[in-house]
Amino acid sequence: MLDDKQPDALPDPLDVWSDEVFDVLLAADIKHVVYVPDSGHARLIERAIAEPSIKATVLTTEEEGIGVLLGAWLGGERGVLLMQSSGAGNCTNTLSLVQSCRFPFLTLVTMRGEWAEFNGWQTPMGKVTGQSLELMDVKAYRVEQSEEAAEVVSAVAESVFCGDLAAAVLLSQRMIGKKEWAK
Amino acid sequence: MGEVNSKSTAQLERRAVVSELLKDRGDLLLVTGLGSPSYDAMAAGDNPANFYLWGAMGSSVTIGLGLALAQPDRPVMVLTGDGELLMGLGALATAGAKQPGNLSIAVLDNERYGETGMQLTHSAQGVDLAGVAAACNFSHTEVIRDLNDVAPFGQRAQATDFGVRLAQIKIKAESPEKVLPSRDGVFITTRFRANLGFATL
């Protein structure tokens, strides 16, 4: 088991919504989880690595993930890119693949630089994460409440894989920040 | 072409190299880097199992990696140039860490950015591309200077259980006549998938 907590401990909120989202990804027939780590994605990454039906690939920089997902699509498989908001800026030119080759692109983005941020160096990119993705025709959805995460990812995944939409789900720092950024 | 300052003495002709590399390709799936490697592959014969990159420079290795992971029983080759490889050098680390058994990379190294005026790349200035791949945990790396060594690398690329391979093939700085593949990315993608039995969307 991945969860090594005591049986009587309350589940970590991040683990709860992450597990729900992971089930959605499995249901959407996702075979590739490509990622640049972020603590907000820690549980999803852990689950992806442990899941035999998933190929989990760590990247050196986020735009690599767009190439890997296109290659996987050429080979008949679906995937998702997990990244932090700062990584969206690294992706701009490579996102031309999504338009030029018209392949289903889904990314889950954990936000920095927007809510109780203590590191101002995260703020410039955090302010324009959604805009930068939308500049390249990747529609950005936001999740503010952890209870909504699985529902939104499920709906967006359906639009991506059935409805010919390229999309990002931005997971708000307010939602994921409860545990992660206190120190 | 004007004189450029390089110590390269490479004599291999790129079209001859690619022809040798692909002559017994079997069920090889091919991803080509933008620019001359795409023209070279097209000159060797268009094939629905070819994916020609026309943009997103630096993405050839990652596309090949994703394809190799999704099609583990098919040999996958990335055919690219030194400039395109350099733009996504981190992808060698990503491929080396992931270690698909069926991925090979052939780098046509003319030590130049051939599409933009033959400016020297890092490869002309002391950077050892095969050495980078070796340091990234590739199972096999080599520098090829003899045409007789090209076909054996093509055969080596047929194995689907060998880890990641890279050949840095030293070629002349020349610009043969352009043989252009389709520039329609949707067509190239759809044709590639259909050839593997997958639907368009």
Which domains does chain B show, CATH number per domain? 14-195 (3.40.50.970)
pLDDT for B53 beyond 90: yes
Which stretches in chain A have pLDDT values below 70?
1-8, 178-183
B-interface mutation test, from A58, A80, A101, A136, most B Cβ less than 10 A away: A101
Interatomic CA distance for residues A178 and A176, integer angstroms: 6
Question: pLDDT at position A181, please?
Answer: 45
Q: Which of A135, A146, A124 is closest to A168 using CA atoms?
A: A135
B151 by DSSP, 3-state: which?
Answer: helix
Question: pLDDT at position A10, please?
Answer: 84
- Decide if A84 is inside a domain: yes
How far off is chain B from A29, nearest CA to CA, in Å?
13
Mean pLDDT, range B113-135, rounded to an integer? 97
- Decide if A1 is inside a domain: no
The β-bridge partners of A106 are A167
CATH of the domain at A17: 3.40.50.970
- Decide if A6 is inside a domain: no
B69 interaction partners in chain A (CB closer than 8 Å): 32, 55, 57, 68, 71-72, 75, 77
Count of domains forming chain A: 1
How would residue B6 be classed by pLDDT, with cut points 50, 70 and 90?
A: low
Question: pLDDT at position B50, please?
Answer: 98
pLDDT for B10 beyond 60: yes
Please check whether residue A129 is in contact with residue A141, taking contact to mean a CB–CB distance below 8 angstroms: no
Chain A contact for B66 (CB, 8 A cutoff): yes
Please check whether residue A69 is in contact with residue A34, taking contact to mean a CB–CB distance below 8 angstroms: yes
Beta strands B103-109 and B50-52 are unpaired
- Decide if A2 is inside a domain: no
- Express as a percent the part of chain B with pLDDT over 70: 96
Residue that the structure tokens 């990234």 belong to: B136
Mean pLDDT, range B53-79, rounded to an integer? 98
B65 interaction partners in chain A (CB closer than 8 Å): 57, 67-68, 71
Phi, psi for A35 (deg, rounded to 5): -155, 150
Cα-based distances in Å from A93 to A13, A62, A151, B57? 35, 12, 30, 9
pLDDT for B8 beyond 90: no
**Which residue segment(s) compose the domain that A142 sits in?**
13-180
- Decide if A34 is inside a domain: yes
B72 interaction partners in chain A (CB closer than 8 Å): none
Mean pLDDT, range B153-173, rounded to an integer? 98
Q: Which of B88, B81, B108 is closest to B21 using CA atoms?
A: B108
- Decide if A19 is inside a domain: yes
Least confident of A8-22, A59-73, B24-38, B83-97: A8-22
Question: pLDDT at position A7, please?
Answer: 63
- Decide if A5 is inside a domain: no
Q: What is the mean pLDDT of chain A?
A: 93
Instruction: Between A12 and B39, name the one with better pLDDT.
Output: B39
pLDDT for B7 beyond 90: no
**Interval A61-99: pLDDT, tens:** 999 999 999 999 999 999 999 999 999 999 999 999 999
Question: pLDDT at position A9, please?
Answer: 78
Phi, psi for B79 (deg, rounded to 5): -115, 110
How would residue B1 be classed by pLDDT, with cut points 50, 70 and 90?
A: very low
- Decide if A103 is inside a domain: yes
Phi, psi for A34 (deg, rounded to 5): -110, 140
Chain A contact for B52 (CB, 8 A cutoff): no
Residue that the structure tokens 């031309």 belong to: A96
A34 interaction partners in chain B (CB closer than 8 Å): 66
Question: pLDDT at position B200, please?
Answer: 79
